[in-house]
Structure 1
Amino acid sequence: MENIENKKLRLEIIDVIRGITIISMILYHFCWDLKYLKGFNMPWYDTLGSYIWQQSICWCFIFIAGFCVHLARNPIRNGAIVLLCGVIITAVTELLIPDAVVYYGVLTFLGSAMILVGLLKKIPLKLDAFWCFIISILLFCITKPINSRMLNLFVTKINLPDSLYVTNGYYGVGNSILTYLGFMQDEFYSTDYFSLMPWIFLFLAGFYGYGVGKRRFDNGLFHINIKPLAFIGRHSLLIYMLHQPVLYGISMLIK
């Protein structure tokens, strides 16, 4: 989501892409409201195409957020703000729409990732950005099905122990931590769930992708500025916080 970026280092195309992604997300969530809150008959919404649409949104946001850690004045502070917004969304949905409650949603993940990678950035390590980028992508692919109790080894899949996922009728702090990490517990439910794994590796791919691409930042492609889209991209966190109540209100007016 929105990082407070140094204007001298601002790459306008990042804001533009983020703006396009925000618009795509609003449309996707509006369709969700129409289908699940208003009961519209939208069979296409459960198809592979809809899943790819949803994944394209979260992949863009997470990769860009990792990329922008380098452009933020204080990524740890930014992460704390985003994490707090995630807590607010959890509290509001739990109180007002418990049937669509959000636990460990995208803002909770992004805030956590910004803090963790912001701390990593402070460690004086000399790592090759290209190979770190490749390893991050590989780890993301390997852990992508971790919520479903599997790891992807490309030629085969490995089933993870059920003991990591089974609550045995008790859901306590330990189970909640496992769910946060990616081992989604049997009794867990959330309408928006982004665990630390696998998504931290996509965030890291964005973080190291900055190092891979920075030699080319003088290229005009990085400075394409479509002002309306860039404006939306620069205010993505605020728009994210406000869009769902607005969409909910609009959907309630539709007969």
Structure 2
Amino acid sequence: MTAKRLWLLDVLRGAALVNMLAYHALYDWVYVFGHTGGWYDIWSPGCHLWQQYICWSFILLSGYSFTLARRPLKNGLLVAGCAAILTVVTVGFLPEESIWFGVLHLNAAAVLLSCLVAPLLQRCPAGWGLAVCALLFLLTNQVPEGYLGFEGVRLCPLPTAWYRPNLFWLGLPDLTRFSSADYFPLIPWLFLFWCGLFLARLWRPRQGLAPRGLRPLAFVGRHTLLVYMLHQPVLYGGLWLWHAVC
């Protein structure tokens, strides 16, 4: 079966996972266990760029992988179940790090929505679909912060009345009463997911085995959900044990 896989996608997913493990290990070290971070500061431009690379690559590759799934509906329901477990565990055991609509919630919602509107997405020309979704992602990137624009570029503010119902899952949170340690609402991130979906119709890498030096990354990339679900308990448990012993 590995000979039939698109090994480049597995390697890219594996690279994103390794980056995520390193980023979250440092986050736990600094912000959960209270050590000084030195250069690691989540508000610094360098760390922000690193974090954005991780989430952009995951979401884009998830959209691409949607087109390869034999049972996308089943996959979406499985990820939705894992997302619900993540919320229950964080709310119950780490309330200060509660996750209400993180990247797993987004992935599940994007897959299920894409299953629902698959006929419409198929009718869309791939090139136009990619261009329009990329533009929408850029324009709505800061909708959860209250304005249209990308990063620091503010095009126009949005009505505050839109945010009072606290539709955080959509991308319209009431920031006076909503917080989430990991937050990826449908707007703007669904558009990036669909960028990956349309990109898959325009470009496909070769099938086969990954080069020998990249096979560890490809192996990790083939088990993204399992690694994602286990990485924080393992990281947190390891750091807690290290502090308890040392």
Does TM, normalized by the shorter one, top 0.5? Answer: yes
1:120 matched residue in structure 2: 117
Structure 2: runs of 5+ lacking an equivalent: none
Residue pair 2:148, 2:156 contacting (<8 A) in 1 also: yes
Q: What's the TM-score once normalised by structure 1's chain length? A: 0.87
Q: State the 1:165 CA deviation.
A: 1.9
| Alpha-carbon separation, structure 1, partners of 2:121 and 2:99 | 37
1:102 matched residue in structure 2: 99
Q: What's the TM-score once normalised by structure 2's chain length? A: 0.90
1:48 matched residue in structure 2: 45
1:209 matched residue in structure 2: 199
1:199 matched residue in structure 2: 189
Q: Secondary structure at the match of 2:99?
A: coil
State whether structure 2 residue 240 is matched by structure 1 residue 243: no
| Alpha-carbon separation, structure 1, partners of 2:22 and 2:153 | 36
| Alpha-carbon separation, structure 2, partners of 1:124 and 1:73 | 17
Q: State the 1:253 CA deviation.
A: 2.8
Query: Percent identity over the alignment?
Result: 38
Residue pair 1:104, 1:194 contacting (<8 A) in 2 also: yes
Q: Secondary structure at the match of 1:179?
A: coil
1:182 matched residue in structure 2: 171
1:165 matched residue in structure 2: 163
Aligned residue type for 1:116: L
2:23 matched residue in structure 1: 28
Residue pair 2:2, 2:209 contacting (<8 A) in 1 also: no
Aligned residue type for 1:232: V
1:171 matched residue in structure 2: none
Structure 1: runs of 5+ lacking an equivalent: 1-5, 167-173
Sort the Cα spacing of 1:155 and 1:244 in 2 relative to 1 into closer, same or farther, 3 A: closer
Deviation by residue 1:87-128 (Cα, 9 ceiling, x = unmatched):
000000111111111111110110000111122224584321
Count of aligned positions: 237
| Alpha-carbon separation, structure 1, partners of 2:7 and 2:209 | 5
Query: Cα RMSD (Å) of the superposition?
Result: 2.1
Which moves more between the two structures, 54-63 or 157-166?
Answer: 157-166
Aligned residue type for 1:71: L
Which moves more between the two structures, 95-104 or 144-153?
Answer: 144-153
State whether structure 2 residue 5 is matched by structure 1 residue 16: no
Q: State the 1:197 CA deviation.
A: 0.5
